[in-house]
């Protein structure tokens, strides 16, 4: 089993860490070879011994120790293992002995090629880094081969590599990579190193064991929330319950009287209580009895948000795609219309938000698990007025991201608290209630669609998305001409062959509710509306939902093959009990083609029981197929959780939900068998982490439609409607 270096907590070594700090060492330095790991993850630094480091991802020391630097963060999606497999594949490293380390904040070296900054999101780690990592591995390998060939006086082309050695078959000579470190370092990296033919892959395509999981079985893995620093205090926070509100009054004396409370920090829009432990901080915060001036959003309610969204949706939008003459066709009459609405959703990662900060007049050190390490660094540097290189960020394993940790707000909050306690180390931990009530929510969306049918196919389709633009806030240069490319992603890439097709986007920001990326992002909304509508159209056309889709997929053979496989494996068309149904969903999201069949039953009280899920996926080359399967299983459950339970509502400017009692999650007893079939493919890898989340809700919705005849057009599932106690919303 390969080793993950320096990422594990061993409480008995805390003394060593304390000593290191007292002695003035900076934690960002690598532990010398042979030393025991400390309690914090390390970042690459210069090594006196002169390793071979041909690029930012690979370092081989003279002992042959190979360290791979992970540009993307591990939050459960298995990316550490996938990145290591890709690098080691082209490098021909000895995979069993490579060590991994987190990349430090450095956009120049480790930017995600899709975004230009360090980001782990959009299910694109493998997609974006596939070629750069292969090239990095291949360049290093070519240099090692050249070094060996020169030493032996043979043609480099006559040399081969395997498991960390260069081999010259003719003479039987072999040299370990470690022995070539000096000579290879003197060479310049080749511009265009030859890549392996995928048929020669030894690692990629195999279900290899993950690097990160052994320490997750025994409590050793250090998440951001587990950072333990000498003398550290622990704080918890209350942000204004209404966005834009301010602190009016606090009872500081009452909080200070709580045993273990050390300090109360009152800022204009948040308060923090700092204590010896979380219990003191939490009890102290409750004793503070904060009164707030709620400000301009004091009266916002969900109803206001929906009213404004529906009004905005009546307007014309920016045109994102237009083929043929959909408008003209629809005006001729016979159009079928529908509207679909999606609720606000919280992320609720299992690891509540947290960040540890130590701020001095000259420097700042941060311990956090983040999807945007360089943005955290910059945000805090700007706040405290230090140059960026004086802000050291230690990234950690992430206990669930789902998009929540694409924001630096938890670091900003912690740094603001730290500004009140210069020279001290403070870990700021949010309660679950704070985590759910101060999220950046998956926006509410309203989608309107209209279509005409001809000979059992769609002749014209008009689709308009109305909702918040997260891109406009999060990556402003990408918001062009009024189009949010994420919000219409799977609309413009809709897989069906429709001769007259028109897509519009209307930007509408909800008052007083911040919005953010949520696992599955724009495609969740697009695929839900399109795939729900497909079933309604199939019914109008008098066709089976699978056949209706299939007849329009000639131009997307990968989607069609996935649909055929999912239909076959799910027993599509087979008999089912009364009030049970199957629903299908086809999607092109994140560069993967997926078809999903959900089988569900609805009882007379409107309760929905999931019976079975079948999924067929063509994700191109599956780097680690078992991870692909795991991500689909988990993603489907994430999406089905939202469909069955997920909704954040607003009243008096406040989020009404607070914890897992009123923001429900699917539990083990509610989860059906899920079968995932991975289709062999030689195409470049697609994204996978978010795809299941996109697939679940429309497939479930269509299963309910098949079981009951009720076309749900809003999420989450409304059990009163299914029980016949209420008209279906439309």
Partner 1 sequence: MQDTFRLRINGEVHAVTVPPDMPLLWVLRDVIGLTGTKFGCGIAQCGACTVHVDGRPVRSCLLPTSAVGEQAVTTIEGIGETKEGARVQMAWLALEVIQCGYCQSGQIMSAAALLAQTPAPDDADIDAAMAGNICRCGTYLRIRAAIKLAASGDAA
The residues that touch ligand FES, with contacts defined as CB under 6 A, are: 76, 350, 400
> Considering only CA atoms, which of 474, 498, 500 is closest in space to residue 487?
474
Q: Which partner, ligand FES, partner 1, none, binds residue 494 by CB below 5 to 8 Å per kind?
A: none
DSSP3 helix / strand / coil % (the chain, rounded to 5): 35, 25, 40
Q: What span, in angstroms and rounded, lies between the C-alpha atoms of 447 and 338?
A: 8
154 or 665, CB closer to ligand FES? Answer: 665
SS3 sequence, 175-227?
Answer: EEHHHHHHHHHCCCCCCCCCCCCHHHCCCCCCCCCCCCCHHHCCCCECEHHHC
Give 272's strand partners: 237, 265
In the complex, least distance from residue 215 CB atom to ligand FES, rounded to whole angstroms: 13
DSSP letter, residue 684? P
In the complex, least distance from residue 640 CB atom to ligand FES, rounded to whole angstroms: 16
Greatest alpha-carbon pair distance for the chain in Å reads: 85
707's tokens: 């079981």
In the complex, least distance from residue 645 CB atom to ligand FES, rounded to whole angstroms: 16
676 or 679, CB closer to ligand FES? Answer: 676
Using alpha carbons, list the distances in angstroms from residue 482 to 416, 471, 485, 698.
34, 11, 9, 27
In the complex, least distance from residue 668 CB atom to ligand FES, rounded to whole angstroms: 11
Which residue of this chain has its Cβ atom nearest to ligand FES in the complex?
Answer: 350
Q: Which partner, partner 1, ligand FES, none, binds residue 395 by CB below 5 to 8 Å per kind?
A: none
276 or 497, CB closer to partner 1? Answer: 276
DSSP letter, residue 503? E
- Do you know the residue count of the chain? 730
In the complex, least distance from residue 197 CB atom to partner 1, rounded to whole angstroms: 28
Q: Which partner, ligand FES, partner 1, none, binds residue 219 by CB below 5 to 8 Å per kind?
A: partner 1
Could you tell me if 274 and 264 are in contact, meaning their C-beta atoms sit under 8 angstroms apart? yes
Cα of 701 vs its chain's centroid, Å:
24
399 or 588, CB closer to ligand FES? Answer: 399
> Considering only CA atoms, which of 84, 106, 315, 355 is closest in space to residue 226?
355
> Considering only CA atoms, which of 371, 370, 386, 533 is closest in space to residue 464?
533
In the complex, least distance from residue 630 CB atom to partner 1, rounded to whole angstroms: 7
In the complex, least distance from residue 357 CB atom to partner 1, rounded to whole angstroms: 17
In the complex, least distance from residue 76 CB atom to partner 1, rounded to whole angstroms: 3
Rg (CA), the chain: 27
41 or 76, CB closer to ligand FES? Answer: 76
In the complex, least distance from residue 635 CB atom to ligand FES, rounded to whole angstroms: 12
255 or 348, CB closer to partner 1? Answer: 348
Q: Which residues contact 13 (CB under 8 A, 6 or more apart)?
A: 36, 37, 38, 39
350 or 422, CB closer to ligand FES? Answer: 350
Could you tell me if 178 and 60 are in contact, meaning their C-beta atoms sit under 8 angstroms apart? yes
In the complex, least distance from residue 258 CB atom to ligand FES, rounded to whole angstroms: 21
53 or 82, CB closer to partner 1? Answer: 82
For CA atoms 169, 171, 172, 174, give the dihedral sign: negative
210 or 713, CB closer to ligand FES? Answer: 210
128 or 398, CB closer to ligand FES? Answer: 398
In the complex, least distance from residue 404 CB atom to partner 1, rounded to whole angstroms: 11
188 or 217, CB closer to ligand FES? Answer: 217
Q: What span, in angstroms and rounded, lies between the C-alpha atoms of 287 and 254?
A: 6
In the complex, least distance from residue 76 CB atom to ligand FES, rounded to whole angstroms: 5
Q: Which partner, partner 1, ligand FES, none, binds residue 209 by CB below 5 to 8 Å per kind?
A: partner 1
76 or 581, CB closer to ligand FES? Answer: 76
> Considering only CA atoms, which of 124, 6, 109 is closest in space to residue 65?
6
**Buried/exposed 626-657: b ≥16 CB within 10 Å, e otherwise:** bbbbbbbbbbbbbbbbbbbebbbebeebbbbb
217 or 604, CB closer to ligand FES? Answer: 217
81 or 525, CB closer to ligand FES? Answer: 81
Q: What span, in angstroms and rounded, lies between the C-alpha atoms of 632 and 7?
A: 27
Cα of 452 vs its chain's centroid, Å:
37
Bond into 716 cis (ω within 30):
yes
Q: What span, in angstroms and rounded, lies between the C-alpha atoms of 427 and 574?
A: 56
Using alpha carbons, list the distances in angstroms from residue 540 to 307, 376, 457, 464, 703.
30, 51, 11, 21, 17
281 or 359, CB closer to ligand FES? Answer: 281
In the complex, least distance from residue 684 CB atom to partner 1, rounded to whole angstroms: 24
Q: What span, in angstroms and rounded, lies between the C-alpha atoms of 197 and 434?
A: 51
In the complex, least distance from residue 351 CB atom to ligand FES, rounded to whole angstroms: 8
Contact positions vs partner 1 (CB under 8 A): 9, 11, 14, 75-78, 209-210, 212-214, 216-223, 225-226, 228, 234, 259-260, 276-280, 282-283, 348-352, 397-402, 429, 431-432, 626, 630-631, 633-638, 641, 659-661, 665-669, 671, 673-674
In the complex, least distance from residue 271 CB atom to ligand FES, rounded to whole angstroms: 23
The helix/strand/coil state of 377 is helix
Q: Which residues contact 510 (CB under 8 A, 6 or more apart)?
A: 305, 308, 309, 344, 443, 444, 468
């Amino acid at each position: 089993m390969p080793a993950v270096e320096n990422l594990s907590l061993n409480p008995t070594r805390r003394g060593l860490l304390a000593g290191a700090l007292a002695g003035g060492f900076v934690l960002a330095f690598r532990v010398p070879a042979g030393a025991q790991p400390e309690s914090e993850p390390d970042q690459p630094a210069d090594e006196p011994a002169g390793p071979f480091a041909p690029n930012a991802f690979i370092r081989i020391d003279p002992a042959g120790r190979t360290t791979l630097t992970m540009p993307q963060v591990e939050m459960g999606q298995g990316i550490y293992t996938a990145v290591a497999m890709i690098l080691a594949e082209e490098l021909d490293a000895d995979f069993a002995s490579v060590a991994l380390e987190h990349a430090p904040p450095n956009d120049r070296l480790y930017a995600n090629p899709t975004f230009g900054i360090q980001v782990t999101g959009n299910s694109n780690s493998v997609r974006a880094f596939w070629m750069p990592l292969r090239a990095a591995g291949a360049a290093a390998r070519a240099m090692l081969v050249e070094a060996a060939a020169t030493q032996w006086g043979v043609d480099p082309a006559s040399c081969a590599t395997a498991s960390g050695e260069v081999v010259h078959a003719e003479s039987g000579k072999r040299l370990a990579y470690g022995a070539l470190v000096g000579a290879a370092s003197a060479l310049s990296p080749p511009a265009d190193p030859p890549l392996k033919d995928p048929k020669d892959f030894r690692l990629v395509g195999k279900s290899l064991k993950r690097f990160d999981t052994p320490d997750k079985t025994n409590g050793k893995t250090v998440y951001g929330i587990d950072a333990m620093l000498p003398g550290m205090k622990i704080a918890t926070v209350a942000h204004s319950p209404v966005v834009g509100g301010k602190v009016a009054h606090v009872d500081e004396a009452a909080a200070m009287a709580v045993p273990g409370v050390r300090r109360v920090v009152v800022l204009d829009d948040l308060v923090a209580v700092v204590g010896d432990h979380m219990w003191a901080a939490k009890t102290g915060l409750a004793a503070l009895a904060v009164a707030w001036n709620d400000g301009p959003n004091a009266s916002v309610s969900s109803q206001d948000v929906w009213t404004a969204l529906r009004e905005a949706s009546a307007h014309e939008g920016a045109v994102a795609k237009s083929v043929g003459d959909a408008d003209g066709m629809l005006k001729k009459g016979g159009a079928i219309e529908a509207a679909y609405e999606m609720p606000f959703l919280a992320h609720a990662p299992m690891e509540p938000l947290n960040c540890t900060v130590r701020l001095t007049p000259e420097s700042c050190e941060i311990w956090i698990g983040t999807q945007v390490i360089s943005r955290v660094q910059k945000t805090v540097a700007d706040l405290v007025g230090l140059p960026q290189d004086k802000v050291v960020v230690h990234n950690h394993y992430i206990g669930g991201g789902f998009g929540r940790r694409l924001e630096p707000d938890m670091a900003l909050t912690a740094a603001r608290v730290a500004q009140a306690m210069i020279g001290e180390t403070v870990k700021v931990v949010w309660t679950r209630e704070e985590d759910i009530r101060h999220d950046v929510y998956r926006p509410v969306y309203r989608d309107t669609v209209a279509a005409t049918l001809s000979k059992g196919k769609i002749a014209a389709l008009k689709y308009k998305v109305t909702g918040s633009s997260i891109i406009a806030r999060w990556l402003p240069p990408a918001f062009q001409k009024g189009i949010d490319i994420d919000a219409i992603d799977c609309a413009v890439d809709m897989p069906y062959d429709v001769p007259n097709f028109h897509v519009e986007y209307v930007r509408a920001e909800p008052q007083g509710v911040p919005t953010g990326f949520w696992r599955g992002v724009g495609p969740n909304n697009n695929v839900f509306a399109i795939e729900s509508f497909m079933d309604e159209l199939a019914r109008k056309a008098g066709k089976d939902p699978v056949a209706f889709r299939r007849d329009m997929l000639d131009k997307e053979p990968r989607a069609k093959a996935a649909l055929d496989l999912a239909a076959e494996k799910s027993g599509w068309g087979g008999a089912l009990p009364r009030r049970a149904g199957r629903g299908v969903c086809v999607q092109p999201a994140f560069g993967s083609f997926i078809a999903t069949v959900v089988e569900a039953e609805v009882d007379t009280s409107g309760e929905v029981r999931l019976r079975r899920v079948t999924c067929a996926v063509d994700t191109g080359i599956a780097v680690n197929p078992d991870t692909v399967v795991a991500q689909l299983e988990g993603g489907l459950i994430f999406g089905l959780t939202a469909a069955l339970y997920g909704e954040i509502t607003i009243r008096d400017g406040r989020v009404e939900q607070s914890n897992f009692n009123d923001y429900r999650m699917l539990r083990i007893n509610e989860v059906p068998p899920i079968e995932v079939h991975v289709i062999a493919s030689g195409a470049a890898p697609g994204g996978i982490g978010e795809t299941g989340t996109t697939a679940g809700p429309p497939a479930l919705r269509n299963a309910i439609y098949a079981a009951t005849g009720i076309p749900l057009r809003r999420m989450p599932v409304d059990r009163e409607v299914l029980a016949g106690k209420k008209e279906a919303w439309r």
